[in-house]
Amino acid sequence: MSDPLITLGGMTATVHHPETPPGRSVPVPLDAAALTRCRRRVHLDHDPAAVSLPRALPDPSLEQRRADALTHREELGALLAAALAEGWRTVGPGPTPVRAAATAAAVAEAAPFVWGGVLPADAGRRGGAELLVRLPGGGYVPVIVVRHRITDPGTGAVTSPLLRPWPGAAGPDDTRRVRSQPRDLMRLAHLHRLLRSAGWAPPDGARHAHVGGVIGLDADAVLWHDLRAGHWPGGRSTLAEYDARFADRSAVALAARTGAPALAEPSRVTECRRCPWWPVCESELAGADDISLVVRGEAAVALREVGVPTVAALAALDPGGEPPVALLTQPFADVVALARAWRRDLPVVRRVPRVPVPRADVEVDIDMESFGESGAYLWGVLIGYPGGERPGDEPAGYRAFATWEPVPTPDEARSFAEFWGWLSATRARAAATGRTFAAYCYNEQAENRWLLGSAQRFAGMPGIPAQSEVEAFIAEPLWVDLFAVVNDWFLCAHGKGLKRIAPAAGFAWRDAEAGGENSMRWYRDAVGMDGAPPDLAQRRRLLEYNADDVAATRAVREWMTSRAVEQLPLAADL
């Protein structure tokens, strides 16, 4: 059969109908996202029988992040188009075949830059790149645009200026180091393979033939990756890692599409929290009493392989005996106790009779609110005086240091400086009166990141501490991470997040919708990000939510150091 010509938007393109050899199945076309997704999700995404199965409701915060990412790409595309007008080609919106034909036409013209291109699908791959950059010797390399941070302060990254988005302009950057983003690397490798399949890639031996670029949230440079570099375990290159994952995910998808025995069974992983298929997998896992309900990741796989496939089987093991497999993350006795707690529906149990928690005469609970990776807009504190108030002490209670200008904004520096100044003065006043001081948070990773990030971003501005001063504070014993205390001294069958632990301490948030994801939506309204006037009610809601968060950390700490915690069963008694 000959390949017919069709007209797409005034352009003529050929539609190919490849013949499928007898005995061979047509590969299932995958986009780059499949390479970093759970294998079971890939199966369900391509199983015709899964169409009627229940799915989780759309996540409003995820939909909003996608919309923000689209806006970010559009704004950046307009900026680059204006700066690089000569030789710039934009592939407009429309059906995928129309966009693919327009991309092919721009490539045929040897356009230096092609924005929004759709690449020709090959045997099992499909996808597009925000930007294709033509090298001097011919052939294109991909540049993708993402709405997350791709570098951190440091050295070692290879970048080019934003308005010189080609690898020949790149060089070592002594102000940035690469932040690990596996999904970006997998997408670049995916596009690299598509370009090669289409015959649009540079010759193999050409300089920069195996590189790809990323423009991140800050949009102030292009970060370049060598896809042959050994960034993966065992020294594997990005291309080698991609090829292995692609072969695996392709086999999973093909088995699902053709009704062959499934190559991926459900197992609980971190991704499950936001997966649309979680209702399906949760039902299957609960029905099977699957081991991954308690032990996740590679440990669950290893336990299944040695004949411990269920929570009941794990709970029946002798916690003092020899582990059936090596468990790197937790002592074997704790894992068995977790399984027993799960079966008794006990969310929290103690590992020790008395829980050691650092306490002080002057205590400050701290909670930071950020808007994604754009900035930290609120530092909330709750001060209390377990050692007794003194004349001259400011009243106990909650305080907030906030900016209501949409982040990122220089006003962030003001609110952070005010917070840091207050914290430093409070510490100094405690020391001057001979009292001990401690500051608390729940899971210091977020607070530490924005403490250091704010000191770095706003260095030299009024009231901003030196980075060394912040690092010294973080390293002090007086900065206490209550999540680490919970992790050390409790076993939590249903998670260790503050929203899980605080109810065990008798604490409840005033807002029934309190949560990090919802706070993102409230923040958009609070600062008028979508063109509407700023919503003062949502500002009050965010302040109340933050005040409850610091009150929750205090409640957890006081509970852990009270006799009430003794009502929890001991793991050894299960």
- Has residue 163 got a pLDDT over 50? yes
**What's the mean pLDDT in 155-171?**
96
Look at 516 and 163; give whichever has higher pLDDT: 163
Percentage of the chain modeled with pLDDT above 90: 83
234: left (phi over 0), alpha (psi -120 to 50) or beta: left
What per-residue confidence (pLDDT) applies to 18? 35
Lowest mean pLDDT among 191-195, 340-344, 379-383, 527-531: 527-531
pLDDT over 90 at 478, yes or no: yes
Residue 531 is predicted with a pLDDT of 83
Cα 295 from Cα 300, distance rounded (Å): 5
- 204 Cβ contact partners less than 8 Å away, ≥ 6 residues apart: none
Instruction: Tell me the pLDDT tens digit for each residue of 38-97.
Output: 999 999 999 999 999 999 988 777 887 888 899 999 999 999 999 998 899 999 999 999
Could you write out the DSSP letters of every residue in 235-255?
GB-HHHHHHHHHHHHHHHHHH
pLDDT at 24: 52
**Does 129 or 529 have the greater pLDDT score?**
129
The pLDDT value recorded for residue 312 is: 96
pLDDT digits (tens, 9 = 90+) for 540-566: 999 999 999 999 999 999 999 999 999
pLDDT band, residue 344 (cuts 50/70/90): very high
Q: What is the per-residue pLDDT across 246-295, written as a single tens digit (0 to 9) for each?
A: 999 999 999 999 999 999 999 999 899 889 999 999 999 999 999 999 99
Mean pLDDT of the residues in the chain: 91
Residue 2 has pLDDT above 50, yes or no: no
What pLDDT sits at residue 504? 92
- Residue 26 has a pLDDT of 80
Q: 385 near 362, Cβ under 8 Å?
A: yes
Beta bridge partners of 400: 380
How much is the pLDDT for 41? 96
What is the side-by-side order of every strand in the sheet holding 113-118? Answer: 88-90, 113-118, 128-134, 140-145, 211-215, 221-226, 157-161, 171-173
Q: What is the pLDDT of residue 330?
A: 83
